[in-house]
Amino acid sequence: MIASLDQATGSQRRSWRYLLLYALAYGGGVIAYVPLLSLLLPLKVEEIAMADKVALLSLTTLAGAVAASVTNILAGMLSDRSVARGKGRRGWVLGGMVATLVSFVGLRLCDSPASLVLAIIVFQVALNVMLGPLVAIAADEVPDDQKGVMGGLLGSAYPLGSIAAILITATPGLTETTQLMVVGALVSAGLLPFLILLRPMRVSEGAIVALSAPQPRAVGRRNLALVWAARLLVQMAGIILFAFFLFYFESVDHSGAVSDTRKLAGRIAWLSGLVTVLTVPLSILIGRASDRIGKRKPFLIWTAGIAVLGLVIMAAFPRWTPAATGYVMFSCASGVFLALQAAYAMQLLPAPGHRGRDLGILNLANTGPAILGPTLTFAVVTAYGFGPLILTLAALTAAAGGLTLLVRDDAKSA
């Protein structure tokens, strides 16, 4: 029985050229949505409905998240069928990229709340036709003993989206049309080298038949559920903290070093920059270390533990220095956890012939917290304040570590 595509093709190791070009392509996918959803969309909402901007932004975000979740799974399933037919997933990625670029035109032209919601839905559908199969390519073509470093590289691609957002909004004189054109150019520059320069991995006809055959999935489904739940909890903790950490740091003792919110925002911006500088190399180095020893679970448990400790420090010592230290500990450790867990999940997928579909299901752990997080935050902060909220996030992260311990590695040393 063939357990994975890398076994079907002789466990071909990927060169650094392949890994870096793939990471660049993934970074192009991140650039496609981070600047738009974090900065350009709120500006568009204000332009269309200033008086009801909060309600419109909430509705637009929710509709887009639902469309993204459904499309990611469907695109993964369709690309699975393409793999089973020997055609691969790159055609879906290219088609999704073109559709995403076209959807920018709709976003530029919309001029009413209804048209904006529709434009975001179309954008999310196009985006996830591109992203779903793109992520599945890594599961297909990168052997298990390189998935750790690949996960680290994927984690380090996220800052590209933030840098692009700063570039297009901080540059004076750029119109909305120009901003969208710059985003489109960066997306194309990220994806096209991978799609053009690297040929799809060849899979034998026998391997295609084996990948299409039914596989025993009882343990695999259990593992998938545990990995999904652990990722959901860590993502929720991160999204809640990152959304409200300015308010949290306003509540801590700064010993007179900060006189107003503007200075505090500058202080936090430097802190966030430090987190990025530390997380990128840590994700790659720890991912590589997990490849070398052939096990990922110990690193996941340790990073979850460090993240919990960081949150406990933030809750127990509401003063700038310990609070900032705890924040850096949590942010770096949770970032490494999520990057390494992406590799772990790819390795534990129960059915090689359904990797696209299963990764789409795992993607729900990324969109779910955006819906559940604000409700939890409002309930806890309103009743108890930030200290108990931070401890609640620590409990969620600890539970994620506990769920990771329950994952069975019988089939593979992972």
Q: What is the pTM of this model?
A: 0.80
Q: Using one digit for the tens of pLDDT, what is the confidence trace for 15-65? A: 889 999 999 999 999 999 888 887 788 888 888 987 877 788 878 888 888
CB atoms within 10 A of CB 265: 13
Residue 357 CB coordination number (10 Å) = 23
Which residue ranges make up each domain of the chain?
5-212, 218-406
218-406 matches 5-212 in CATH topology: yes
Fold observed for domain 218-406: Growth Hormone; Chain: A; (1.20.1250)
| Of 308, 291, 275, residue with least CA distance to 402 | 308
Q: What residue type is 367 in one-letter code?
A: T
407 or 118, higher pLDDT? 118
Q: What is the rounded CA–CA span in Å between residue 4 and residue 291?
A: 17
- Using the predicted structure, report yes or no on whether residue 139 has a pLDDT greater than 60: yes
Proportion of the chain above pLDDT 70, given as a percent: 82
DSSP 25-48: HHHHHHHHHHHIIIIIHHHHHHHH
Question: Helix or strand or coil: residue 317?
Answer: coil
Helices 176-197 and 16-35 meet at what angle, rounded to 10?
Answer: 160
8-27: per-residue pLDDT in tens?
444 578 888 999 999 999 99
Mean pLDDT for all residues in the chain: 82
Instruction: Please name the fold of domain 5-212.
Output: Growth Hormone; Chain: A; (1.20.1250)
Name residues whose C-beta falls within 8 Å of residue 225's C-beta, 6 or more positions apart in sequence: none
